[in-house]
Structure 1
Amino acid sequence: MMEDELDRMLSRQDEIVPSSGFVMSVMDAVRREAAASEPAPLPPIAFPWLRALPIMIALVAAVAMLIAGAVEILRGPASVTQQPLLPQAVTHALTQMNAIWLAVSLLIAFFSAFLAMRFAIGKR
């Protein structure tokens, strides 16, 4: 009998209604606190030009060297440009080491690590 009485008391669904004006007074207090603790707007963060300057200088130097190299190749005689890019000994060594398979395996490892980090971090 005690269990039935407990079930009956717990099954009642009395609606809890706050007293009049309670919700408004709480919301007014929340708004006052929000207005009082509102921080002053911060100035925008300046770009670190001094830290980026060496990188920009290196980039300009690399582009200048690429342009100078391209001009030098275009100026050279036609017989010089027809030679293979790598010496025959280097080409033979790369063939013996199976460099293509090594490069393919490194690319697969790189892309799998890249995709794993991308999925772990998420797209931002």
Structure 2
Amino acid sequence: MEEESNNQPISWFSKIKKMAKKLKNEVGALYLASERSDVPFHAKAVAILVVGYALSPIDLIPDFIPVVGYIDDLILVPLGISFAIKLIPKDIMDECRIQAEDIFRKGRPKNLFAGGIIIFIWLVLIIYIFKKLI
């Protein structure tokens, strides 16, 4: 009976780990797809936004905010990835998935532009709130 309960958490953890690895690979594939000339412009734009946000070291909603801080990581990022994938032709996504296998082995690429946009948004919000208080 104890073995059964010990196997469940390990199985649950391995499933989550596998899903996270798949999401990482999808982000890499979207990055590669956004660089291709045969991907429609609207699909590239969505892919660039999603990849930029997923790889940005700064979240729109900081993780230190209880519960809400993780919503973007758990819900918004996967939804954005799913939406971007639907906009890109399947054969192109399949090619990019194969190429993306090595993208994260070399280290996590940073998107400074997306990070800058998020910092800008936070600065504007802080200035706005500060002006309203004074």
Give the TM interval when normalised to the shorter protein.
under 0.3
Q: State TM-score, norm by structure 2.
A: 0.24
Q: State TM-score, norm by structure 1.
A: 0.26
Of structures 1 and 2, the one scoring higher in RCO (CA 8 A, sep 6+) is 2
